A and B are shown apart, each in its own frame.
Chain A
């Protein structure tokens, strides 16, 4: 029987079997990326036990979660907690010999945007990091997964993790995506279909013509959000698009090493006869732009649909959950999704703030202006993305429309900085989580693609972005 790509990656990183029956192994980890908010206690632990970092050159630090995104960059953190965390992060990186992109560094950005764009995410690698959206790296045929602070410390001290092998799920997305429907809609449709725990215990491998047709950046959006249906790993076999993306990136291998790597990477795929523990099918042609209405990423509808009625839900726990979500979100069952008015629009996050995302949102905007009463902002995924967008004039399109054009960071995806929703404010957001309070206590988040956020900002309410694209 053939092997899945996931099992090939685990087997090629297996240092030691710890418990055969429980599928526990000691797994070698190639790299990590660290941020200022999940790493401090890990460094304190190392210091207390007087343990060195096993391989400091295999870690990169980047400040992203707590920094302000105001247009003028400053190393000063207005909030004392953020100041303490960034100062301690700098001290830790310096003392343990880890490279740091601090807030003034030209390559600073959101960790999962920075790592691929500088060429540190390579096919065949295993990367674990203290952030759940590390699954992003699956777009390169690299197993990425999130870990907690104790495991960051374990990684730093040993270059390994005690790891439980997952089951494999194949998500086949065949057919052709209709014009104006994006990879965000693919992953949102999957999460809606299988539920927020639908892939718990699994690593997903995405296959199919609709996946192959996507750009590498669009694929990253899918792998990024796979964690929202519980997957602790999301993979796509690397192809020529991935190799083209990587070639020439500053930290990617070069010359003879590149050629050798390429030969190895071309063999990275699940075997034809590999058997998956679960199979899910999506037909790309059936997909339309998605929006969430509730407080869990699986509470989503097509933009053309109405908000579902909890009374029609048979399961009592689910029914209560739906009602609670409607109450929190201030919505009525049966209300059309397109009738939901917004006060805020946010384009940003490791899910959707890469250059292609900004280009797509800018295409929807054109020369239009955002609706009166909407406060809208664009927070590029990295300082490099910001520079690129400015070279292309995208910043002008956003600013002419009435968007604020910001510096890079995680920003209002999780609102650890000063970009935060007031209680009751409603936001169209290109992010990954619509949890209660995620973007601010009492704040109401609707997840959607960056193009859909742009369209909502123009209309002042949720709307099918294809109206502005001329597709419908």
Chain B
């Protein structure tokens, strides 16, 4: 997992609610057996026309927002399919954190497992970043995970994050390695679980 400490970058606005993982990473990019090549697939139908040319109206194709490191997004971002390809694509494009009012459950977990920071804010706080995101040239923020702050030219917001998720992100931890340090406890649980519920075997 990619570690996250302090990241400064461009923030781009994506207003719509319920942007689903089919829109973030459409089906034609799901046929791989590795994680590569998903940058092109990110928001593919929004970014590119049927001839494969960039759609100039899409925000990430416009100067001032191209290669944004941060997206400020509408409610329920990442809903729908469990496809982790959506998160891989965002990261391959260079997105490091998302600001929103709520994120879909599976998507949010997928982000955490890969080092993509999802920051949940109140609507007023989000509006503050959204306003800035609409000003190309000024739309730069700094996210400091250790301090749990988002700083813009004229504001600083603090955000909440689970301590476990924070530590994992800061250190870029391998979650499986961590869990396997509790191997004996898992084995003991399993033994008792099957003794109590032999039909689960």
Contacts and interface: CB of A to CB of B under 8 A. Distances in A.
Interface in B21-46: 22-23, 26-27, 30-35, 45
A40 interface: yes
A317 B79 contact: no
Given A148-B84, A257-B198, A321-B17, 9 more contacts: A16-B182, A22-B162, A40-B34, A51-B176, A79-B31, A124-B197, A196-B18, A260-B198, A317-B17
A155 B23 CA distance: 27
B26 A15 contact: no
Interface residues on B, range: 35 or more
B22 A437 contact: yes
Given A19-B164, A151-B113, A160 B16 contact: no
Which of A30, A132, A423 has the most chain B CB atoms inside 10 A of its CB? Answer: A132
Nearest to A162: B175
A438 B24 CA distance: 11
Contact of B105 (A16, A18, A131, A232): A232
Interface stretch (A81-89, A302-310, A350-358): A81-89
A230 B76 contact: yes
B163 A22 contact: yes
Interface of A: 13, 15-16, 18-19, 21-22, 24, 26, 28, 30, 37-38, 40-41, 44, 49, 51, 54-55, 66, 79, 81-82, 84-85, 88, 122, 124-125, 130-132, 145-151, 153-154, 157-160, 162, 164, 196-197, 200-201, 230, 232, 253, 257-258, 260-261, 264, 296, 298, 317-318, 320-321, 324, 414-416, 423, 433, 435-438, 441
Given A196-B76, A257-B199, A320-B15, A85 B33 contact: yes
B197 A436 contact: no
B75 A197 contact: yes
Nearest to B106: A146
Interface stretch (B89-97, B138-146, B149-157, B184-192): B184-192
A226 B23 CA distance: 20
Contacts of A148: 82-84, 87, 106, 109-110, 113
B16 A317 contact: yes
Nearest to A21: B163
Contacts of A157: 176, 179-180
Given A19-B163, A151-B109, A159 B186 contact: yes
20 contacts: A19-B163, A21-B163, A24-B162, A41-B33, A41-B35, A66-B31, A84-B32, A131-B81, A148-B82, A150-B84, A151-B110, A162-B175, A196-B79, A197-B75, A257-B198, A296-B17, A320-B16, A321-B17, A321-B18, A435-B80
A130 B82 contact: yes
Contacts of B164: 18-19, 22, 24, 162
Nearest to B166: A22
Interface string B92-121: 000000000010111001100110000000
Contact of A132 (B17, B80, B197): B80
B189 A150 contact: no
Given A433-B22, A437-B23, A88 B75 contact: no
Nearest to B103: A200
B125 interface: no
A61 to B, nearest CB: 14
A15 B162 contact: no
Contacts of A258: 199
B105 A230 contact: yes
A296 B104 CA distance: 14
